Amino acid sequence: MRAEDRIDTGRSRPLRWWDAGVAATVAVMAGIGIVELLDERAASAFEMLSVFGPLALLLAWYLLLGRTALRRATLELPLRPVDLCYLGGLVLMVGLAAAAVPSYATLQAIAYPMIWTIVARYRDAVIWSAALALAVGVGFVGGFSKAGRIEGLGEATAVVLLSFAFAVVMGTWITRIFAQGERYRELAEQLRRSQEEVAALSQEAGAAAERERLSRELHDTLTQTLTGLLMLGEQADRALAAGDVERARERMGRVQAASRAAVEEARALVAATHPLGDGGLEQAIERVAAGLREDAELSVRCELEPLPLDRERQVVVLRAVQEGLSNVRRHARAEEAVVSLRRDGSDALLTIEDDGAGPQAAAQGQDASGRSDGSSAPPTGFGLDGLRDRVRLVGGEMRFEPREGGGSRLSVRVPLAAAVREGGGE
């Protein structure tokens, strides 16, 4: 058996209604036939055959081909020649039944719905309905002529035309409802596909945002630590070249310490641990400043005020300190830097000032790849641009400008916690 002929139990249930409808209609027509025979004083075998034969033939034809045709229509499978054969036989048999007993024209009540169910194309359904109306009309003519009741032909013709018109109107209405349902189904399917596309795009956007976040984290942690390692290694190499073994040994000790710090940063990044470590934001900033003092022999002074910042904004401030001091070490050629964190209205204001060459010299010290002149540090790819994006994401703003009296000034302003802003104090 072919796959298209397999019956799905749930979708074959409508055939039960067709079976019940056909059985009820044939039973009613058989009752009418019995009444017709009772009017006769002595019905012959031929008369009984002419009354009940069309009904039996119609029922057998339905069981043989009709149920299969209706099942295929229910499963929305393509029309086959055998289905057209059934429709042709149905039209012919209803016409013959109307010729045998004019009251059998009531079989149209079951024949028209079958036509509109089996035939998918609207035009073809109308043609088959017209053929059925013509067959019933011819049957009427034959039946009334045989009974000598010519006066009933006008009424019969009116009944045929009204039945045909009613069938076409009902079929048109049902077809339009079905077409509208199909359009709604297609729209629902398009909406489902659109939702899947949106979900996929959202997932991709989330993945891209996560990659960007990790890139910033790598730049603000491992990249800067590795840059410091390179600088310490160069200092140790120059000390060895100058014969200063003690200074070279001290620099190598710093390399080992910085390497261990890099390992810890990598572990913290992989485990998504708190980047501030123990002691909160202020101590984390102090640790960054202490590392710069030891690595670059730069004077770094911290003026820090405890502020009510949530974890996300604390991380932003810490990353700003790391980026700002990294720029001071690599580009500013400064001797002193000051890190200040204080409250300014409803915001937290971080400033990093140095007495170096200023922003213009720092910009000239970078080539197109982000590499600073006179340093073997690798290009970062983020720097101040990445910091500006990070600050903007938490509703803050960043400025990098010359400082009065020389040097540069990096300022980062981020909002305080909402509850503190509303209360006007800590």
Instruction: Tell me the mean pLDDT in the region 74-95.
Output: 89
Sign of CA dihedral 193, 198, 204, 207: negative
> Is the residue at 97 inside a domain?
yes
14 pLDDT exceeds 50? yes
> Is the residue at 214 inside a domain?
no
347-354/397-402 β-pairing:
unpaired
Last residue of a domain, one of 148, 178, 208: 148
Instruction: Tell me the mean pLDDT in the region 346-364.
Output: 79
> Is the residue at 255 inside a domain?
no
Last residue of a domain, one of 133, 148, 163: 148
User: What is the per-residue pLDDT for 272?
Assistant: 45
CATH number, residue 302: 3.30.565.10
User: What is the per-residue pLDDT for 349?
Assistant: 94
CA distance 53 to 242: 123
Last residue of a domain, one of 148, 179, 207: 148
User: What is the per-residue pLDDT for 415?
Assistant: 92
- Choose from 193-202, 264-273, 351-360 the range with maximum mean pLDDT: 351-360
Instruction: Tell me the mean pLDDT in the region 160-165.
Output: 75
The residue behind tokens 């019933």 is: 136
Cα atoms found within 13 Å of the Cα of residue 43, Cβ hemisphere only: 16
Q: Could you tell me the pTM of the whole model?
A: 0.42
- Choose from 7-21, 227-241, 247-261, 389-403 the range with maximum mean pLDDT: 389-403
Kindly report the average pLDDT of the chain as a whole number: 76
> Is the residue at 350 inside a domain?
yes
User: What is the per-residue pLDDT for 41?
Assistant: 53
- Structure confidence at residue 420 as a pLDDT band (50, 70, 90): very low
User: What is the per-residue pLDDT for 4?
Assistant: 45
Asked if residue 359 lies in contact with residue 384, where contact means CB atoms within 8 angstroms, the answer is: no
User: What is the per-residue pLDDT for 112?
Assistant: 86
371 pLDDT exceeds 60? no
Greater pLDDT, 235 or 167: 235
Strand partners, 359: none
Q: How far is CA 267 from CA 259, 371, 423, in A?
A: 12, 27, 39
Total of domains in the chain: 2
305 pLDDT exceeds 60? yes
Phi then psi for 339, rounded to 5 degrees? -105, 125
228 pLDDT exceeds 50? yes
123 pLDDT exceeds 50? yes
Domain interval for residue 381? 279-426
The residue behind tokens 């409803």 is: 346
- Structure confidence at residue 218 as a pLDDT band (50, 70, 90): low
CA distance 370 to 367: 5
SS (H, E, C) the chain: CCHHHCCCCCCCCHHHHHHHHHHHHHHHHHHHHHHHHHCCCCCCHHHHHHHHHHHHHHHHHHHHHHHHHHHHHHCCCCCCHHHHHHHHHHHHHHHHHHHHCHHHHHHHHHHHHHHHHHCCCHHHHHHHHHHHHHHHHHHHHHHHHHHCCHHHHHHHHHHHHHHHHHHHHHHHHHHHHHHHHHHHHHHHHHHHHHHHHHHHHHHHHHHHHHHHHHHHHHHHHHHHHHHHHHHHHHHHHHHHHCCCHHHHHHHHHHHHHHHHHHHHHHHHHHCCCCCCCCCHHHHHHHHHHHHHHHHHCCEEEEEECCCCCCHHHHHHHHHHHHHHHHHHHHHHCCCEEEEEEEEECCEEEEEEEECCCCHHHHHHCECCCCCECCCCCCCCCCHHHHHHHHHHHCCCEEEEEECCCCCEEEEEEEECCHHHHHHCCC
Q: How far is CA 283 from CA 182, 191, 272, 280, 288, in A?
A: 66, 53, 20, 6, 9
User: What is the per-residue pLDDT for 299?
Assistant: 87
Instruction: Tell me the mean pLDDT in the region 348-376.
Output: 62
Least confident of 155-164, 189-198, 228-237, 285-294: 155-164
160 pLDDT exceeds 80? no
- Choose from 135-139, 357-361, 374-378, 394-398 the range with maximum mean pLDDT: 394-398
> Is the residue at 305 inside a domain?
yes
Determine the length of the chain: 426
- Structure confidence at residue 239 as a pLDDT band (50, 70, 90): confident
374 pLDDT exceeds 50? no
Q: What angle do CA 249, 255, 256 make, to 5 degrees?
A: 95
